[in-house]
Amino acid sequence: MTNHIVLYQPEIPQNTGNIARTCVGTGAILDIIKPMKFEINDHNVKRAGLDYWDKLQLVFHDSLEDFMATVQDRDRLHLITKFADTTYSDRDLSATDGEQYFMFGKETTGLPEPFLREYADRCLRIPMTDGIRALNLSNCAALVIYEALRQQNFAGLERVHAYPHDKLK
Instruction: Detail the residues annotated as belonging to a binding site.
Output: 80, 105, 126
Binding-site annotation, residues for S-adenosyl-L-methionine:
80, 105, 126
d(CA 44, CA 84): 32
d(CA 2, CA 61): 18
d(CA 20, CA 81): 20
Nearest-CA neighbor of 9 among 89, 103, 73? Answer: 103
Q: Is the dihedral of CA 115, 65, 49, 46 positive or negative?
A: negative
Note whether 37 and 10 are within 8 A (CB): yes
Distance spanning both ends of the chain, measured CA to CA? 39
d(CA 32, CA 58): 8
